[in-house]
Amino acid sequence: MSQHLGAVTLLVPSYDEALDFYVRTLGFDLIEDTQLSPGRRWVLVAPPGSRETRLLLAQAASDAQLAAVGRQAGGRVFLFLHTDDFRRDHTRYVAAGVRFLEAPREEAYGTVAVFEDPFGNQWDLLQLRPRT
């Protein structure tokens, strides 16, 4: 048996603001942007090289959803962006204005630093150490 997560919904205040950050700033690939109805789109993005899991950018459609933007994990790191070259991506993101909440640090599992998207979601930029 084989299973995988196809997409994770990420509430955002605006499709276009989210695309600006995830595609233009972070360099994610735009997988799909389909108009479903007035004011509603199916927008999938993924980090370059990602083959399975996508982010479904969902524009908040109610006050309750808008209040949850940036707080879907209750103030914890919500998403983990794995990279094959931490220094390359960290340097590029800093130059692009991405807000890191801490300096890079070495942990037993790899190199990591927490950054925040413009909506308040916390992410780990993470390069795992090879397993021995």
Q: What is the CATH number of domain 71-132?
A: 3.10.180.10
Half-sphere exposure at residue 49, Cβ-oriented, CA atoms within 13 angstroms: 4
In sequence order, the 6+-apart residues with CB closer than 8 A to the CB of 98 are 25, 26, 115
Q: Domain-by-domain residue ranges, the chain?
A: 1-69, 71-132
Per-residue confidence (pLDDT) for residue 42, from 0 to 100: 96
Residue 119's CB is within 10 A of a number of other CB atoms, namely 18
pTM, whole model, 2 decimals?
0.91
The secondary structure element, H or E, covering residue 68 is helix 63-68
What is the SS3 assignment for 14?
A: coil
Q: Which two tokens stand for residue 30?
A: 């735009």
pLDDT, one tens digit per residue, over 91-122 is 999 999 999 999 999 999 999 999 999 999 99
Identical fold at 1-69 and 71-132? yes
Location of structure tokens 């959803």: 65
The class (CATH top level) of 1-69 is alpha beta
